[in-house]
Amino acid sequence: MFDIRLFGDVGLRIYLKDDKIKRIEFVRSASSNAPSHLVEKFSPYIRGEGDPALKMEDLDLEGYTENMLRVYHALREVCTFGKVVTYSLLAEITGTHPRFVGYCMKVNRFPIVIPCHRVVGKRGLGGFSFGEDIKRRLLSFEGVNL
């Protein structure tokens, strides 16, 4: 389990098992204690320049269904650093439903790598499991203003 500081008092806590990422969560007081090879992966994001150098293959995706994985893949394709997408557009792309997309974001174990904070409502911000303030700060960090 390692912490990486992103900005301010916001950081990531990363759980590893073997060479895969088991889970990522946000922490509010981040002490950076991750090994450099792991920090390296996230450094583009930390510098505010782009997405982390991680692929879906680096994640332990056990338990997710085909439809969920389709949503996650589509999100990563459509929504790179600094972009946002709407629940309904992502639903349209994947042939699902806006409420299902919301559910997928809620059960996403890999925030930032699967950028669920970039999915917003057609009217309004939409929710965020780790608190809407963090969602807002992440978007503003990426240069997005609602």
Partner DNA sequence: TTTTACTGGTCTG
Partner DNA sequence: CAGACCAGTAAAA
Q: Which residue numbers are catalytic?
A: 116
Q: Which is nearer to DNA, 63 or 143 (CB)?
A: 63
Nearest by Cα to 12 from 58, 1, 114, 140: 1
Token pair, residue 141, equals: 């960090």
Decide if residue 117 touches DNA (CB under 7 A).
Answer: yes
Please name the residue ranges forming H helices in the chain.
36-46, 66-78, 87-94, 98-106, 132-141
Decide if residue 95 touches DNA (CB under 7 A).
Answer: yes
Count the site residues for DNA by CB under 7 A: 33
Q: Which of 34, 68, 75, 113 touches DNA by CB under 7 A? A: 68
- For the CB of residue 65, give the shortest distance to DNA in the complex, in Å: 3
- For the CB of residue 36, give the shortest distance to DNA in the complex, in Å: 29
56 backbone dihedrals φ, ψ, rounded to 5°: -60, -30
Please, are residues 56 and 72 in contact by the beta-carbon 8 Å criterion?
yes
| Distances in whole angstroms, Cα of residue 20 to Cα of each of 1, 9, 38, 56, 62 | 12, 26, 11, 10, 11
Q: Which is nearer to DNA, 43 or 128 (CB)?
A: 128
Decide if residue 73 touches DNA (CB under 7 A).
Answer: no
- For the CB of residue 93, give the shortest distance to DNA in the complex, in Å: 13
User: Which residue ranges make up the site for DNA (CB under 7 A)?
Assistant: 63, 65-68, 86-88, 95-103, 105-106, 108, 111, 116-117, 119, 121-124, 126-130
